[in-house]
Structure 1
Amino acid sequence: MLAFERRVRRYRYFARSPLFMDKLQAISTFVRVVDARSFSKAAETLSMPRSSVTTTIKNLEQHLGTVLLRRSTRNLSLTEAGERYYASCRTILADIERAESGLRDDTVAPRGKVRADMPGVIGRAVVLPNLRDFALRYPDIELVLGLSDRPADLIFDGIDCAIRTGELADSTLIARQLGTLTWLTCASPRYLRERGEPASVDDLAAHDAINYISNATGRPLDWRFDVNGEPVTLTMQSRFAVNETEAYLQCGIEGLGIIQLSEFVAKPYLESGRLKEVLRESRSAPVPVAILYPNRTHASAAVKAFVDWIAEIFPR
């Protein structure tokens, strides 16, 4: 905390100089270019001409006396010096944001636009049914929701926050755990009358399965079970495969085969009798669900309000 306060005092001293503001703009532009992995994309998000972004980075490199970015027609990467400078710039910008945030009036209601991305399953089952509450609670926040089975790239697509399931691979994102998802193996009563009910995971080899094609990898998702306390992963053979949740669900309801889907999706159809859970004793361990946002956003008041609201309404 003392180091942070010392840095803030230094910033207040140098901030009296116009040169500091020019450097601060250059630092912000540099960080945005690295985050976006593109001069053009950075220019778009900064509402600046691409030529201005390019000139800013060139002048910054001349001022520092070193090359920060390796440029090619298809790739943009940091040099060793660029990596060190980028890490320092991120710290500087985060400290300035913290200093400014401490001066803002906490009584002002959150306002602004929040772009959020999430699986359609969670959006339809959890977010949309509660959206009126959010609208009444935060009338000054404009919410843009992306509901899709294809996950967006938070940095490249300019997303403020996103709900993701499973293990998180990108440690550069801030993650807040929301809860878990349980995956159920289900079939229609019609299918079970015609083909019988599998008594064990091994019995699935004699049944028809419907595979779900991941929009992220283009490959069928593995089926996951827990057998005698041990996780088991199966690559199922299937005659039918789809890449959209509603279509996948419909295949199961129509009796085309056994499906594996989240409890969020399955619950109303289990309650109505249109689907029946099988292999209940072999359910896999629950999958973690988190809401993520990039460090570069520094969590605006509107984003924080949305994240807190999601955490509040998410089923435990």
Structure 2
Amino acid sequence: MDRLATLDLFIRIVDRGSFSAAAAACGVSRPVATAAIKALESRLGTRLLQRSTRHVQPTLEGVAYYHRCVEILADLEEADRGASGAVAGVLRVDVVGYLARTTILPALPDFLAQHPALTVHLGEGERFVDLVREGVDCVVRAGALADSDMVVRHLGVMEEVTVASPDYLARHGTPTTPDALEGHQMIGFVSSRTHHPLPLEFTRGDEVIEVTLPARLLVNGADTSAAAARLGLGLVQAPRYRFAEDLARGTLVEVLADFPPTPTPLSVLYPSNRQLSPRVRVFVDWLVKTIGPGLHPGE
């Protein structure tokens, strides 16, 4: 392996804590990766990595060398961009699936046309992602965010609605206030952080009211929650864009419109402990300019 490829391999080993995962990401075999790192350590005259049967972690010298390698490769990528005017490589992004399909994907052709040397790997997920260890460049997430060492760029807020199917409302009645929810049930959306169903949320002026209803179905996927609502299994809350077609067709009906849930913030996150690469920078800037205004077109 040449020196730049070896530096890239070393960074990936530290990020993922694994020779095998890093070798696969670089498209080389584990023995080739092992030999390259041994040769690097021999040339430098110092041990960079501590190996165990389950994990690999950098030595103190390895940590210092890692940060310099990250800076060097980022500077090289920036220099290449300055010389060619192009952003190149693979950008790995993780987005909630429905948001990816309805909001990001329709606008993506223009972004790809602007950057013909860039490939976007668009992953779909709602779970917490360890960006560094999993080799993901940035994630787009909805909701309040737990404290972390990620850099957060705010994209906007999404209007939330409460919906149910006509069949459900025919059986349980249509509530007119949050106080009239006795006898109703919800589709329990289980939080990935607390592992408990999230309560329904309503606003009355400046007051936020949380209501936990009986739930005969618990889910941890937004698509499943929406499908269950169409089948009449309970009340559900989600961003309005998710139910726009259902509301237009009448397969779902908005209820308690005078007591809407609080809006949900949407953000893009990327690691703070690494120099921001040009491909991540252009994508994040594009998200802020292109996706953000579409979330609240009335502003």
TM-score by length of 1: 0.72
Partner of 1:255: 232
Letter in 2 for 1:36: R
Quick check: 1:43 aligned with 2:23? yes
CA distance in structure 1 between the aligned counterparts of 2:163 and 2:80, rounded to whole angstroms: 54
CA distance in structure 1 between the aligned counterparts of 2:147 and 2:79, rounded to whole angstroms: 29
Quick check: 1:269 aligned with 2:246? yes
Would the aligned equivalents of 2:203 and 2:259 in 1 still touch at CA under 8 Å?
yes
CA distance in structure 1 between the aligned counterparts of 2:210 and 2:13, rounded to whole angstroms: 40
What are structure 1's unaligned runs of at least 5 residues?
A: 1-20
Partner of 1:278: 255
Partner of 1:114: 91
Partner of 2:12: 32
Would the aligned equivalents of 1:31 and 1:86 in 2 still touch at CA under 8 Å?
no
Task: Name the SS of the counterpart of 2:133 in structure 1.
Answer: coil
CA distance in structure 2 between the aligned counterparts of 1:223 and 1:137, rounded to whole angstroms: 42
TM-score by length of 2: 0.76
Letter in 2 for 1:94: E
Task: Name the SS of the counterpart of 1:132 in structure 2.
Answer: helix
Question: 109-118 or 241-250: which moved more?
Answer: 241-250
Task: Name the SS of the counterpart of 2:82 in structure 1.
Answer: coil
- Does the C-alpha gap of structure 1 residues 258 and 106 become closer, same or farther in structure 2, counting only changes over 3 Å? farther
Would the aligned equivalents of 2:174 and 2:255 in 1 still touch at CA under 8 Å?
yes
CA-CA distance at 1:54 after TM superposition:
5.8
CA distance in structure 2 between the aligned counterparts of 1:291 and 1:202, rounded to whole angstroms: 36
Would the aligned equivalents of 2:16 and 2:22 in 1 still touch at CA under 8 Å?
yes
Letter in 2 for 1:220: P
Quick check: 1:291 aligned with 2:271? no
CA distance in structure 2 between the aligned counterparts of 1:100 and 1:115, rounded to whole angstroms: 16
What are structure 2's unaligned runs of at least 5 residues?
A: none
Letter in 2 for 1:242: V
Would the aligned equivalents of 1:26 and 1:60 in 2 still touch at CA under 8 Å?
no
Structural mapping, 1:120-131, within 5 Å: 120-131=97-108
- Does the C-alpha gap of structure 1 residues 193 and 302 become closer, same or farther in structure 2, counting only changes over 3 Å? same
Alignment root-mean-square deviation, CA: 3.8
Task: Name the SS of the counterpart of 1:105 in structure 2.
Answer: helix
CA-CA distance at 1:89 after TM superposition:
4.4
Quick check: 1:307 aligned with 2:287? no
CA distance in structure 2 between the aligned counterparts of 1:156 and 1:260, rounded to whole angstroms: 33
| Matched positions, count | 291
CA distance in structure 1 between the aligned counterparts of 2:64 and 2:212, rounded to whole angstroms: 41
Select the residue among 172, 177, 180 that pairs with 1:195.
Answer: 172
- Does the C-alpha gap of structure 1 residues 53 and 120 become closer, same or farther in structure 2, counting only changes over 3 Å? same
Select the residue among 107, 116, 122 that pairs with 1:139.
Answer: 116
- Does the C-alpha gap of structure 1 residues 42 and 234 become closer, same or farther in structure 2, counting only changes over 3 Å? farther
Q: For residues 159-179 of structure 1, give each alpha carbon's deviation from its aligned partner in whole angstroms, at most 9, with x where no partner exists.
A: 222211223336333322211
CA distance in structure 1 between the aligned counterparts of 2:278 and 2:101, rounded to whole angstroms: 25
Would the aligned equivalents of 2:187 and 2:215 in 1 still touch at CA under 8 Å?
yes
Partner of 1:161: 138
CA distance in structure 2 between the aligned counterparts of 1:100 and 1:124, rounded to whole angstroms: 30
Select the residue among 185, 190, 196 that pairs with 1:208.
Answer: 185
